[in-house]
Each structure stands twice: as structure tokens, then as C-alpha cells.
Structure 1
Amino acid sequence: MSESVGRPVSRVEGTDKVTGRARYSADTPIEGVTFAALVQSDIPHGRVTAESMASAASRAAAAPGVLHVLTPLNCPALHALPEDLTWDLPLERRPPLSDLSVQHVGQHLALVVADSPENAAHAASLMAVSYEPAPAVLSAAQVLADPPVPEGGFGAVRHGAYRPDHFVKLTEEKLQDRRGPQAEPTGTTVEAIYTTPENAHYPIELSATIARWEGDLLVVHDSTRWITGERRALAAWLGIGEDRIRILSPLVGGAFGAKSFLWMHVVLCAVAARTVGRPVKLVLTRDQMFTSTGHRPPTEQRITLIADDTGALASTEHHTLTETSTVAHFCEPTGLSTRFLYRSPRLVVSHTVARINAPTPCFMRGPGEAPGLFALEVAMDELAEATGRDPLQLRLAHVTDRDQTTGRPWSAADLAGCYLTGARRFGWEDRPSTPRTLSRNGVQVGWGMATATYPGRRMPAGCRVQTLPDGRVRFSAATHEVGTGVRTVMAQVAADATGLPLDRVCFDSGDSAFPDAPYSGASQTTATVGSAVFAAAQEWKRRLGGRPFPAGGVGADLLDDLSFTVTSDGAPDGDAVSQSFGAHFCEVEVDEALGRATVTRWVAVMDCGRVLNPKLAANQVMGGITFGVGMALLEQVPHDPRTARPLGEYYVPTHADRPDFDISFLERPDYALNPIGVRGIGEIGTCGVPAAIANALHHATGKRLRALPITLEALLEPSDERMV
């Protein structure tokens, strides 16, 4: 009997990755391929003059090796997406190259196709165009201060501010919510504004696309995390059937949200390939990734916490102002966790979204929770200080056994266990309550903590089983290997459920020809695809009927019967709600003479259901924490306030920024969510991390820092300028 689940199995594609044999989209060899380069706007709002566009296209077309120049003047008309793909998802309402108007810096203006990447890039550099500039709206504050300028009514381009009802397709996750009394109670009050900047995804692998036509069939090799969704959107843009499109994405080299949707360069590659009659390859530059594949939008969050005479929360308010583009919807849902995390009789949560002349934002690792828990968890520390309580004890006193938004109990949750286990492993009982008490080797030391939480999600998925003549069994689904070890854990699930050794089972992904699966995001792939793989493996074992399965040379009578496709439903309806929880504890050192903060030690305890592979699970949490360290101390995209162009460099953590990790899990299988008892791990590691660091910095320095990233300059400011 196989016992693969629960073992620290190494990634099945790991050797290929470290030896360079792994093949990503840009590595795909295609005969007769041509190369494309983008031409992008360098103003935030206005219109390109037709004369200058025609002249620029002529210059580029005359350059060496150029095969075609695609512009708004000659681009075939593309269809608008159906409303269900744009009204609550960050897919753009306006087709690319549909007119000469400009809505943001970095908007695609043309695509040059040539016989080499160098010739394409050179020709694109020749396409200087002239603009008729228009007033640009560059911040949410500007939107709220100035009345919107009408442009196209309620069409593809929209202005002003609005308040969306819910988060994407999750209608129960309300962005405007309240409960309890209308009136605000009296008591100890903490009220402050917390800000987070624009963050870039910055994956290792640049977004890359190769589009080719085989007669009427469009084959797209793309770095995407939503194969089936990309196929649907691409079919809608082009006005063809989904059965005429195949998407291939064998491996994805990081994404963090940037590759969750169909971006405009993919559509343009498909159009250009049809026009030139040859495959077209486009690899975005690092600079183009900042304006072409989404980002986390900035937020301004106002939180008010009121405690009664006993120190218990009596009221919680969390109001968010964030931004989206003028051509697509996205709301960073920072207040979702606030609705249920701590027991509070009164709650008010709101989200306001301002449309500005900037690229379209989208999901980024821990959407909503990462920036939202920064604000909430720093506010909780401020309340603990205001009421004279230990931050851990305040949180323990407000743990709830049910989802306050619905009144339904958690299906399998132990947040208190995470707190207590983490505190013991960290040594929290030795933490002095007074800031600036700890020091080491001439630098200040601080200890901080924060709560982590992320929903347990599951969607429908399919899985194909193919039994091979040599005695191996192949499982497959149109999901994605984004570096999390999906192929490995799916093979482990299949091996255990079939009873086969792990080396006789494999799992394939990255092809839209496989059975449908949802996007690889929202920490749902293991629960979703794993349920389909488990069902397929159980059906395979049932069909085998107790017969011995030969190690090799499987006969034809078994091959057909043991090759089939199954589907698995989404999360079952039930009385319980699935939610993951965790606790972060960290130590920082602050050299106040240099303004340098270093995260030295980290303890994280996670309650994420059953752990299928402890090595990969711990790796995911470590990666999430490192991601959060960058968010707390390094990452932001500054812009020139006059031109809206990105400025400077984008700093991300390196190995030198890695703390000493102590990662552990509470094994609480969640069989209410799926038959294998798992919840996702990919994003919860980031949630709460910036707050834990900010709280530790306060403990080290006495400064309450409410704006990310926490920079050298902020740490060097005198305390009385930063403290309330």
C-alpha cells in the first residue's frame, strides 16, 4: 500500500529546474518563428495624432528585417469581452489598439514584428509619436476632489469613484458590510490611517507569448496561470470558438498574480501571427512588466477600534480607498478579514475605488489580506498598548469559533492553538512590555506578532486518467505548475488513492486540451484539483475491482477500462465555513545610527488543514514570509508626479534578508471542504507579515510606523515626529 501523502517528497520537476532542462513558454522551439516588440505610450492621458502614428509606422516598416507593424490604423477590429468577464474581474473592457486614445503610461500603441528580436526592438525604438495631451487623473485623492470628466458614458472608459458590492465572483464576500448598532459606542479608541504603496509582482520569468496558427486552430504558448480563462477571453476578443484555441503553459516561473489573466500583448501576438502567416514570439521587458501585467494598487485605510471598560472590542470600522484604471475593474479587498477575524459586536467595512489614468491593477499574493492585515494588526497592537494589555492576550481574548458574517461555525480551525504554539516556540513570555527595552551589540531589538488568515477555497475541476501499456498511470488537468509543487503533491494524492508506488504515477498540467481547471490563484489548486485527482484515483481503483495491477505489460482489456475522465464539484454546501489561520512572531534588529532594520528570527504556526507534503508546505510559508518582508521594508513603485512614469528601481528581498525560520503546522484536516482534508497554503504565509514587522519595529524603537514600506528615512526620523 502506497503511503506517499505526508512525506517530504522533492519536486518532480526540481532537477530539471536546477539543471536548466526545464522548459518555459519562451523556451519553446518553433520553426519559422518571428519576433515582436511593443511600442508603448509615455503619457498618462490624451490622444496620438493619426499623422504621427502613420509616419512612425512607416519608419518602423522600413527598418531592416521588419515584417509588419500593427497599429490602431490597421489592426483588425477586435470584439469587446462579455460583461461577465469584465464587471467584477480585472479584464479590460476596451479592445487593444481599438483607437488612438491613451489612458495610461505604458498602454500598447503598436506591435512591430521582425525576423529577429534585435530588429524588432530597433524598429520599435523608431516609433516616436506625437500626442494631443489631456488632463490626467493620477490619484484617488484627485478623483474625490475633482468632479469626473465625462468620456463615453458608462462604456469602456469610465471615470469617477464607485463602491463595488463584492469581491470578484464571490458574492458572499461583501465589500460594503455592517452589523450591530448604528451609533458608535464610547470607550478606549484607536483611530489611524494606514497606507500601502503600489507593489509590482516582479516574477523571475518575464511574461512571454508565442502565437501560431495551424489552419483555423490558434496555438498559444503563454506564461499564464489561467489556461481555460485565457482561452475563453482570447476567443471572445477574436470572435472565434474556444474549440479553435489551444493554450500551452508547461511551467510558470513565478507569477504572484501577474499571470492570472489574459493581458493585451497575448491578443496582439495572435492577431500579428495571423497577419504575417508565421508564428510570433514576444517576451516583455522587465520595464514593460510594470505597466502591462498588473500590480497591487495603493491603499489608504482608516481603522477605528473601540474597546469597552473590560478591554473587549465594542466596535470595529475599516474604510478603504484604493484605485483602478479607467478601462477595468479591480478592488483591493482589504477589509474582508476584518469582517470576521475578531469578535466585535459592531462592525462597519467599506471600500471606495477611484478610477485613475494608470495601468489596470489585479490580484497579488494575498489580495486584500496582505495590505488589509497590515492595517488591522498594527491597529490591534495599538489597542493593546492603549488598554495596557499584551498583544497576544488581546488577540486570544477575541478569538471566535464562528464566521461572524454568517454566524456559521468554522469547519476545522484552531487559531488559539496557533497563537499558543507560536508563542511557546518563540519565547514570547520573555518579551518586555515597554518599547526600547531590548538591545544587542549596540542595536535595538524588538519582538512583534500578527495574525494570518486566508479563506479555504475550492472550485469545480476535471481530471483525466490514462493507464499506459508499461504499467504507469498518468493523471492530467488543465492546471498549472507555478513553482509550488502541484505536480508533486497531485502525484502523491494519486499514488495513495490508487495504492500504487509513487514512481508509477505522474501528473501532467499546462495544456488546455486537458480537463478544465480554474486559475491557479486564491490558494485553491491543491483543494480543487486534488479533489478531482482523488476522485479519479478512487474510480481507477474501483474499476480495477481488486484485481492485481501488473507492474508492466498491461493488456488491452485493462487499458481502455482504466482510461477515463472525471469531474469534481466545488465546495459543498454545509453548515461550516472553511478558513485557514496562523500566527507570526518575529524579531527585528534596528541600527538607529544607520536607519537599518533587519528581520533576524521568525516563528510561524499555520492551521491549513491536512499537510500533504511538509517540505513543500514549509517552503511555501517561507516564501510567503520573504514576500512579506519585501512588502514591509523594500517594495514600492514610485512615479514622477508630473508624467506618471515609474521612477528608480524596485527592490526585493535577497538571501541576505532571510531570517532564521521556524515553521510548523497544526494538523487539522478539513474534510468539510474536500475529501483529502486540505486548504491552500500559497498565500497565507504573506498575510500578517508586514504588520508583525511593523509591530516589532515599534517594540524596538518606540515609533509607530503606519506607512509601507518602512524606509531608512522613516526609521531615522525623531520619535516625536512619528508617534501619536
Structure 2
Amino acid sequence: MSVIGKPMNRVDGRAKVTGAARYAADFNQPGQLYAVIVSATAGLGRVTDIAAAEVERAPGVVAVLTHRNAQKLPYLPHKAGIDPAVGERLHVLQDDNVRFYGQPVALVVADTLDHAERAAAALRITYESRQPLVDPTDQRAEKIIPEAANRTRALADRSRGDADTAVARAAVRVDETYDMARENHNPMEPHATVAAWNGDRLTLWSKSQYLVNEQAEIAAIFGLPAENVEVICPFIGGAFGTSLRTWPHVTLAALAARHVGRPVKLVLTRKQMFFTTGHRPRTRQRVALGATPEGRLTGIIHEGMGETSRYEQFMEALTNVTDYLYSCPNVRTQYRLTQLDTGTPNHMRGPGEASGIFALESAMDELSYKLGIDPIELRRRNEPQMDEAENKPFSSRSLMQCYELASERFGWARRTPEPRSMRDGRLLIGMGAATATYPAFHAPASARVRLLADGIAEVEAAASDMGPGTYTSMTQVAAEFLGLPPEQVRFRLGRSDYPQTPSHGGSWTMASVGSAIRAACVEAQAQAARRAVADANLPVFGASVNDLEWSEGRLRRRGEAATGLSYQDIVARTGVPVEAERSAERASEVAERYSMHSFGAVFAEVAIDLDVGTIRVRRIVGAYGIGRVVNPLLARSQCTGGMIGGIGMALMERTVLDARDGRPVNAHMADYLMPVNLDIPKLEALFVDEVDPHVNPLGAKGLGEIALVGTAPAIANAVFHATGRRVRALPIHIEDVLTA
């Protein structure tokens, strides 16, 4: 039986399309009240007065919480890997300081949502304001070296050889600056939490990509044992990283529920999601390339600057890709932060790599035109044989195979190399390509398998499913290693009291949780076999476990043609389920020996109407080397979703802050533009046959991030090919091409 590799439909699909799937805000509780956050309208300063008395008398209002009457919380130290290593999280309603526009400064609790919203809008708050610094290009903005850099995935300074001299002396050079706008996540489902206390025990029905961390974070904030907090989240309506951290609204919901002694529901508005739930930071990057006339890179300089808040240092792997992507003897990378009076940024799909590779791949495209070498050929001439930064081999690297597969499917050979040389009537046509890559991460994870007397296998892990199909893919993994049809496997996730797993982000869920499920399945089989050989009424009684084998979910003596025993046969003897819990993690010696990454090649075609400046993406083809593909149907869905995100990054998404107070001026769906159905062209995802025995027992690499990573630079490169105008800032606007 082989279930892995089959394009199986989503096991939770029916629940979603019929409305049976319950999201965080759907878990209404008896006697529930409704909370609405009042957000600061000052960008920096302090609260001087809150006219709460009048609002407290408004219809239906039960409480108005501010720093004056809210419980003082211990906020014990707690940092998970997803939290900034330097700084301290926002202590909500604990003092009168305003650190950024939109910070929660009050909470209104009422009997209905309408009453809570009306009262929150009527609450008058007075501020002593100061001018915030919100523009990273402001001359007053100081660049700092990240304090935790080189202890985390983000590297501050790294070099080999003498890149500056190599670039200065190179026969052909590119030296440019690239700017990428701040973005907000904006998934379909807004952040929501329903909080209910039972004595000193707290239950949170909360949108979370990291349940065990939300449990630990809230326990630390309230000074509770972790086991006194339970987090439940069976479904997520999209997230892209926004729910990785535990944001202030979760604390506020729990705080309000304790204050009023009743369950409280708190759902953020779309506008509020631009304030306190993170964002992809704006970045400015310099990339300088030096090359021989034959196209061999002699020097690479990549200097990146990201933004962070003043109270935490958020870092991402902005320049990491440059260290290993191409062969070059002289490479220098630098990463700095600019502290601003804004909320802390957050990981957003393809964090770091998506921003950094836009600059690098745009520069490589510019170099190809300067050299008169095809962009793919330039990359082929600089294909490394090993990770030259780490001085170790890749566990697998299929980048050139990806380029071959995607370019043939895309029809790259039909491209004429000169800019502005391709037309469709009066439309200018452009074709662009870019490399995609993302680390093949793995984190320790645990899972539990329970074999029942009715033949069903229950599998549990405290994972999340924000849309990639975790329910389905983990069902396939369990079915594969237990030898059962998928319909006999019930996979459960979304509870913090299930076996612990890492965050549902970073493209490591399948590698980590899938490996743990495999280990638990193998152990469950071993336990079932031991039980069978100890039962005098079963045909394998007295046999050595080593003389038995499992095949298609049945236990038999090796070499025998007998039907064998099913799990049901074994468990039904006693009626006691077989239960096994196991963990899995990557062996340290393997991680130290190999450099592990996914790779891909992305091709985009654009059509540009110069009369009005419109840019239309006509089609995208991507090919990816991601190891073993567990479910091709889900994998293609992940890729097309990433490509759509890349279209938004390249042409639409940009959060604009008012320099006077830091207010996001386009914090709504009318002005924060994202791709909709009519913007989506033909999207095609292909997979290279890649075997990687080193990354994990499944041989599977991550996929969620990489499909977005290379899309924006491919589109930007296509825009140059169409117009001859190089745009080095994202998103690309109509006015950028009107003058082309």
C-alpha cells in the first residue's frame, strides 16, 4: 500500500464547505460577553485622561478596562523561538505609555457586540503626544547591529575573501539599491479569542499557529502553571505567520474574562490587524555584483536594513540566501535594524528570504543584461558544487533541474532577449525568471497513535492547519506507515494538551510532525506485535518479534502467505487500545554534515499597456525540488497560493504610514490592495523528482514558503524585459512604467 504521493482530497474539505468547521470566533460560550479594543490615536507619548465614567453607564456596558483598573500582571519571562530574542513584549494595560499608533489603551466589555462597539467609539481619551519616528529612511533613524544576530537564523555580518576589492576590480559590475514596502498579512479570518475561566484554570479558543507557545505565553503573563491553560484551535482561516506569536488581544480577552467573571469574546477588526499583530518589515538593500566578461561571479556584497520596534528587536534572514546560492570566492553580507515607533514586525510567508532574494535576483538579472548572457545561463555558470559559506555539501540541490523543467514548460526558448522586443498587438510582453530557495527546517515534535478495537487509528498532535492541508497530509503519513486505508485514520490537531509540536510556520510541519507520526506508528506496531506474541489464542503466540513483519496493516510470520492479524484482531482480544507516543528530531551529526534547502525556479510573463500603465501577469510557471511530495494536489495548491502572494508583493501590497503619527492610512481592503480572482493568471507548479535521505525520515522538505520567495523578482524581471525600465522598489506602480 502506498498512500504517500497520492493526490488525495482534503479530509476536512466537507466540514469547511458545509460550515461545520469551527474557527476561533465560533466557540460561543454560555453567558458570554463581548469585548472591543480601544486603540491609541497618538503615535507616541502617554495617556493623560480617560473619560470612562460616562461610557460605563452606556447601555449594556459591563466594564471598561484601562491601565487604571486592570489587574497588574506578573509578565514572567518567556520567549519561544518565534519571539524576538532581544527586548520585552508589550505589557498591555499595565501603564500609561503609548509606544505606537493603534496600541490597545482600553477595553470595553458589554452584553452585545453592538453595545461594546458603540461604547468603545464613545470613549474619550486624552494624550500627551510626541512626534514618532516611523520612516526608516528618515535621517534621524539610527541603524543598529542586532544584538542577537549570529545566535539566531539572522546573520549580522559574514564574509569570505575580499568582496569589496573583488567588486571594485571586476570587469563588469552591478551596484544598486532595492526597496521593498511594509506588508500586512490580512488572512480571511481575523484574529479572535474566546476566553473562559473556571477557578484558576483558563480555556482559550484562539486563532493560533503555535498552540503550545500560546499556552506557555499566557501562563507566564498571568503567573499560572502551563497546565492550567488550555488552547483550542481546530481550524485557521489563513494566517501566513500573523498568528505565530501570542499578541496582546489574547491577554486582553483573558484579562477581561477574569475581571467580569464571565466568558469573553474578542475579535479584532480588519483595521486593528494593521496595528498589533505584526507585519512584514520594510527593507532597503544594496547588492553589488562583480563578474568576469564570461559571467563568473568574482564578488558579491549584500547589505540589508530592516525595521523593528523600539521595545523589541525583530530579525529575519534577510541576507542569508546570498551566502550559499551562487558560487563566488568573495562574499560579504551585512544586516542592520532601524528602530521605529511602531509595533513589532513579525514573520510573514517566506520571512527574510522573500525580501532578500528580490534584491539578489533582480541584481543577477541586471548583470545578465550587462553581460549579454541569458539569465538562466548566468545562473548555470555560477552553480556551486557545495555550500561555500558552510563548507559542506548540500543534502540535495536540484536548482538546475528546476530551471530545465520550468523553462521548457514555460517556453523560455521563444523569448527574444532584447527589452521591449516582444509585443502582442499594442501590449508589451515581458518574460522574467528568478531562483527560489528556503531552508529545509526540522524541529523536535511529538505525536500519539492509538489503535482501537473497531480498526480505527487515532492520531493526535498539537499542530495547526492554516490551510495547507495538515489534516490530510498527516492522515496520509499515518495511513502509509500503519498500512491502513486513509478512511481508517482519524487525525486530530488543534489542542495544546496533545503531544507538543513546533509552530505551524517555517515550512517544517510535515518534516517535523510527519516524522513524529511515523515514529509513533512504528512504535504502535511494535507494541501490537508484542501483545500478539504474548496471547496464546493468536496464531503468532510465542514467536520472536524479530520473526514477524507488518505488511499492509497485518502481522504475520516472515515469509508466510497467511492472511495475518489486523490491528483489530489484536486489540479486540482485550478491548484495550494500543497507544504509543513518540518524538522525532533531526540528528545533530546530520545537521552538522549537510546544508539543507529546497530550491526552485520561477518564470513569469507580463503584459503591459503603456497607454495606461497597467501591468498584467499572464502566467507563472514554477518548478521545485522539495524532496518527497506527500500529496501532489496539496503541494500544487501551496505553490499557487504562494505565487498569488508573490503577485501581491510585486504589484500591489504596501502599508503606508502617516509620518505625523504612524497611522496606517490604508488599513482597510479598499486601499490595501491584494490580488483577487480577476488578477490571477494561469499558474502552474511542477516538481522535480528529488530523493533526499538526509533531511528527515520522510525525505520531505518544506514547501509553504518557497513558492512565494521567487515570484516577485521573476515578475519584476519580466517588467524590465517588457519595458526596458528597471524598477527597484516593490510594489511596482502604474507610474513606474508610464514613462518607460
Q: CA deviation at 1:556?
A: 5.5
Corresponding position of 2:715: 693
Match of 1:319 among 299, 303, 306: 303
Deviation at 1:561, TM superposition (A): 5.9
1:121 equivalent in alignment to 2:117: yes
CA distance in 2, matches of 1:271, 1:91: 23
Equivalence for 1:410: 394
Match in the other structure for 1:662 = 684
Q: Does 1:4 align with 2:3?
A: yes
1:63 aligns with 58
Which residue does 1:426 correspond to in 2?
410
1:184 and 2:202 are equivalent in the alignment: no
User: 1:316-349 CA deviation, whole Å, 9 max, x = no partner?
Assistant: 1111112111122212432111111011111111
Partner of 2:75: 80
1:686 partner SS? helix
Q: Is the 8 A contact 1:92 1:327 kept in 2?
A: yes
Distance 1:361 1:549 in 2: 55
> Which residue does the alignment assign to 2:595?
577
Aligned equivalent of 2:383: 399
Superposition pairs of residues 593-608 of structure 1, within 5 angstroms: 593-608=611-626
* Equivalent pair of 2:155/2:335 in contact (CA under 8 Å): no
Distance 1:689 1:165, change over 3 A: farther
The aligned counterpart of 1:710 is 732
Aligned to 1:506: 490
Counterpart selection for 2:227 from 243, 258, 279: 243
CA contact (8 A) 2:451 2:571 kept: no
Q: Deviations over 1:368-399 (max 9, x none)?
A: 11111111111000011111111110011111
- Aligned residue type for 1:672: H
Could you tell me how far 1:310 is from its partner in structure 2? 3.2
| 3-state SS, counterpart of residue 483 of structure 1 | coil
The range that moved more, 226-235 or 636-645, is: 636-645
Say yes or no: does 1:107 pair with 2:103.
Answer: yes
Residue of structure 1 equivalent to 2:423: 439
Q: CA deviation at 1:79?
A: 2.5
Within 5 Å, give how 1:150-549 maps onto structure 2. Answer: 161-164=143-146, 170=152, 173-181=154-162, 183-185=164-166, 186-187=169-170, 188-545=172-529, 546=555, 548-549=564-565
Looking at structure 1, the residues matched to 587 and 379 of structure 2 have their Cα atoms a distance apart, in angstroms, of: 29
CA contact (8 A) 1:71 1:97 kept: yes
Tell me which moved more, 601-610 or 667-676.
667-676
Q: What is the deviation of 1:401?
A: 2.6
Amino acid in the other structure paired with 2:589: D
1:653 aligns with 2:635: no
Q: 1:90–1:362: 8 Å Cα contact kept in structure 2?
A: no
Q: Which amino acid aligns with 1:12?
A: V
Q: Secondary structure at the match of 1:606?
A: strand
Q: Separation in 1 of the partners of 2:390 and 2:274?
A: 39
**Helix, strand or coil: the match of 2:716?**
helix
Deviation per residue, 1:625-674 (Å, 9 max, x gap)? 01000110011011222232112311110111112122110121322111
TM-superposition CA deviations, 1:238-280 (whole Å, max 9, x none): 1111011100011011001110010001011111111111111
Q: d(CA) in 1 for partners of 2:642 and 2:83?
A: 30
1:11-22 → structure 2 map (5 Å cutoff): 11-22=10-21
Q: Which amino acid letter does the alignment assign opposite residue 448 of structure 1?
A: G
Following the alignment from structure 1 to structure 2, what is the Cα–Cα distance between the partners of residues 331 and 337? 15
Asked if 1:134 corresponds to 2:127, the answer is no
1:249 & 1:637 partners in 2: Cα distance?
Answer: 29
Q: Which amino acid aligns with 1:267?
A: T
Q: What SS does the corresponding residue of 2:419 show, helix, strand or coil?
A: coil
| Deviations 1:536-576 (CA, angstroms, capped at 9, x unpaired) | 11112222322645586874656546112111124542221
Q: Quick one: distance in 1 between partners of 2:422 and 2:587?
A: 48
8 A Cα contact 1:572 1:673, kept in partner: no
User: Is contact 1:296-1:361 (8 Å) kept?
Assistant: yes
Counterpart Cα distance in 1 of 2:443 and 2:23: 26
Query: Cα offset for 1:78?
Result: 1.8
Whole-angstrom distance in 1 between the partners of 2:72 and 2:165: 55
- Residue 33 in 1 paired to residue 68 in 2? no
Distance 1:385 1:182 in 2: 22
AA paired with 2:618? T
Q: Provide the rounded CA distance (Å) in 1 between the counterparts of 2:150 and 2:30.
A: 40
Matched residue SS, 1:184: helix
- Any conservation in 1 of the 2:643–2:708 contact (CA below 8 Å)? yes
Q: Contact 1:88/1:167 (CA < 8 Å) preserved in 2? A: no
Indicate if the aligned counterparts of 1:470 and 1:554 stay in contact, CA closer than 8 A.
Answer: no
SS in structure 1 at match of 2:290: strand
8 A Cα contact 1:303 1:317, kept in partner: yes
Are the counterparts in 1 of residues 299 and 329 from structure 2 also a CA contact under 8 Å?
A: yes
SS at match of 1:258: coil
Q: Deviations over 1:40-61 (max 9, x none)?
A: 1011101110xx22xx221221
For structure 1, which segment, 705-714 or 568-577, has the greater mean C-alpha deviation from structure 2 after superposition?
Answer: 568-577
- Asked whether the 8 Å contact 1:438–1:445 carries over to 2, the reply is yes
Alignment correspondent of 1:565: 581
Stretch of structure 1 that moved more, 554-563 or 278-287: 554-563
- Cα displacement (A) at 1:28: 1.0
User: Is the Cα–Cα contact under 8 Å of residues 78 and 220 in structure 2 kept in the other structure?
Assistant: no
Cα deviation for residue 175 of structure 1 reads: 3.0
Counterparts of 1:371 and 1:81, CA distance in 2: 34
Post-superposition offset of 1:36: 0.2
Aligned equivalents of 1:451 and 1:384: distance in 2?
Answer: 14
Mapped to 2, the partners of 1:126 and 1:482 lie a distance apart of 36
2:662 aligned residue (639, 644, 657): 644
User: Cα RMSD over matched residues?
Assistant: 1.8
Per the TM alignment, residue 96 of structure 1 is displaced from its structure 2 partner at its CA by 0.9
Letter in 2 for 1:620: Q
Q: Is the 8 A contact 1:467 1:559 kept in 2?
A: no
Alpha carbons 2:442, 2:508 under 8 Å: kept = yes
AA aligned to 2:131 is P
1:457 and 1:571 in contact (8 A); partners too: no
Shift of 1:183: 4.5
| Aligned-pair CA distance for 1:235 | 1.1
The reply on whether 1:676 has 2:676 as its aligned counterpart is no
Q: Separation in 1 of the partners of 2:350 and 2:421? A: 33
Distance in 2 (CA, whole Å) between partners of 1:39 and 1:559 is 55
Tell me the amino acid that sits aligned with residue 594 of structure 2.
Answer: A
Give structure 2 stretches of 5+ with no counterpart: 530-554, 557-563
1:441 offset after TM fit, Å?
2.5
| CA deviation vs aligned residue, 1:563-593 (integer Å, no higher than 9, x gap) | 1211112454222121000000111100111
- What is the CA–CA distance in structure 2 between the aligned matches of 1:668 and 1:236, rounded to whole Å? 44
Determine the C-alpha separation between the residues in 1 that align with 2:323 and 2:566. Answer: 54
Q: Distance in 2 between matches of 1:464 and 1:358?
A: 42
Amino acid at match of 2:219: A
Could you say which residue in structure 2 is the equivalent of 1:154? Answer: none
Measured in 2, the distance between the counterparts of 1:660 and 1:280 equals 45
Residue aligning to 2:89: 93
Number of positions where the alignment pairs a residue of Structure 1 with one of Structure 2? 698
Percent identity of equivalent pairs: 39
Match of 1:221, SS? strand
